[in-house]
Chains A and B, each alone.
Chain A
Amino acid sequence: AVVSTQSTGAYHIPIAMSQRGRGGRVHVDSEEEEEYEVESTQTQNQRSQKRKSKAHDDDDDVEYDTQPSASKKKKSQGASASQATEVPLSDEQKEKLVSDCVRYILALDHNKTPIKRDDIVKNVMGDHRGKGLVAWVLERVKKLFADIFGFDFVEVPKKASSKTGAEKTSGIYILRNNTSEEIREALNEIRGNDERESAEKGFLLAILAMIFLNKVVDEDLLFDQLRRLGFYEDEHHEILGDWKKLIENKFTKELYLDRSKTDRRSARTQKAVYEYRIGPRSAMEIQKRKILEFIAVIYGEEIDPVQAKELESDGENEEVEEEEENSNNNNNNNNNNNNNNNNNNNNRTRGGASSSSSNNNNNDNRRSTPVVLANSSQTDSPPPVRTMRSRR
Chain B
Amino acid sequence: MASLSNVHKILLQSFMSRPLWTQTDLEANLTKLFQHFPEESGSRDLDSVVSAINEKLRVLNLELRKGMSEDNGTMYWALVNNKHDKMLEKATNYEIKELNLFKKMLETIIKSPTKEVASKDIINLYQGVEGITASHSDDLVNRLVNENWLTMSDEGKVTMGIRSIIELRHYFTEEFEEDLINECMLCSEIIFKGERCPNNCNAVMHKHCIKKWFQGRREKKFPSWQTSLNFGVLGLGKCNSFLKIKTKKKKKKK
Contact = CB atoms under 8 A, between A and B. Distances in A.
Interface of A: 3-21, 55, 57, 95, 99-100, 102-104, 106-108, 110-111, 113, 123-124, 143-144, 146-150, 177-178, 182-183, 185-187, 189-193
Contacts of A143: 1
Contacts of A178: 9
A148 B57 contact: yes
B59 A95 contact: yes
B33 A186 contact: yes
B57 A18 contact: no
Contacts of B13: 20, 149-150, 177, 187, 191
Interface in B142-195: 147, 149, 163-164, 167-168, 171
Interface stretch (B86-94, B111-119, B126-134, B207-215): B86-94
B84 A15 contact: no
Nearest to A95: B59
6 contacts: A12-B81, A100-B87, A144-B60, A148-B3, A186-B36, A189-B36
A388 to B, nearest CB: 35
Given A10-B164, A95-B59, A189 B92 contact: no
Contacts of A95: 59
Given A11-B100, A20-B13, 8 more contacts: A8-B92, A18-B17, A20-B16, A107-B89, A107-B91, A147-B1, A147-B2, A191-B17
A20 B33 CA distance: 17
A17 B79 CA distance: 9
B223 interface: no
B6 interface: yes
Interface of B: 1-4, 6, 9-19, 21, 29, 32-33, 36-37, 56-57, 59-62, 78-81, 84-94, 96, 99-100, 102-103, 147, 149, 163-164, 167-168, 171
A14 B88 contact: yes
Contacts of B3: 146-148
Contacts of A57: 85-86
Contacts of A123: 86
A142 to B, nearest CB: 12
Given A9-B91, A19-B17, A193-B17, A148 B36 contact: no
Contacts of B167: 10, 13, 15
| Of A8, A57, A187, most B-chain CB atoms within 10 Å | A8
Contact of B6 (A13, A103, A150): A150
B78 to A, nearest CB: 7
Contacts of B18: 5, 7, 191-192
Contacts of A124: 87
A241 to B, nearest CB: 14
Given A10-B99, A15-B81, A107-B87, A186 B168 contact: no
Contact of A14 (B56, B57, B90): B90
Contacts, number: 178
Contact of A186 (B10, B19, B93, B100): B10
A139 B189 CA distance: 41
B33 to A, nearest CB: 6
A147 B102 CA distance: 35
A13 B80 contact: yes
A16 B12 contact: no
Nearest to B1: A147
A103 B15 contact: no
A187 B11 CA distance: 8
A377 to B, nearest CB: 41
A192 B171 CA distance: 28
Given A4-B17, A8-B94, A150 B10 contact: yes
A148 B103 contact: no
A143 B10 CA distance: 16
A177 B14 CA distance: 12
B63 to A, nearest CB: 10
B22 to A, nearest CB: 11
A99 B1 CA distance: 14
A213 to B, nearest CB: 30
| Of A17, A20, A146, A177, most B-chain CB atoms within 10 Å | A17
A186 B17 contact: no
A11 B92 contact: yes
A192 B17 contact: yes
A88 B86 CA distance: 24
Given A9-B91, A187-B14, A16 B19 contact: yes
Contact of B163 (A10, A12, A102): A10
B147 A17 contact: no
| Of A107, A147, A190, most B-chain CB atoms within 10 Å | A190
A8 B140 CA distance: 13
A187 B171 CA distance: 33
Given A107-B89, A150-B10, A7 B17 contact: yes
Contact of B33 (A103, A150, A190, A193): A190
A289 B65 CA distance: 39
A130 to B, nearest CB: 20
B6 A186 contact: yes
B10 A10 contact: no
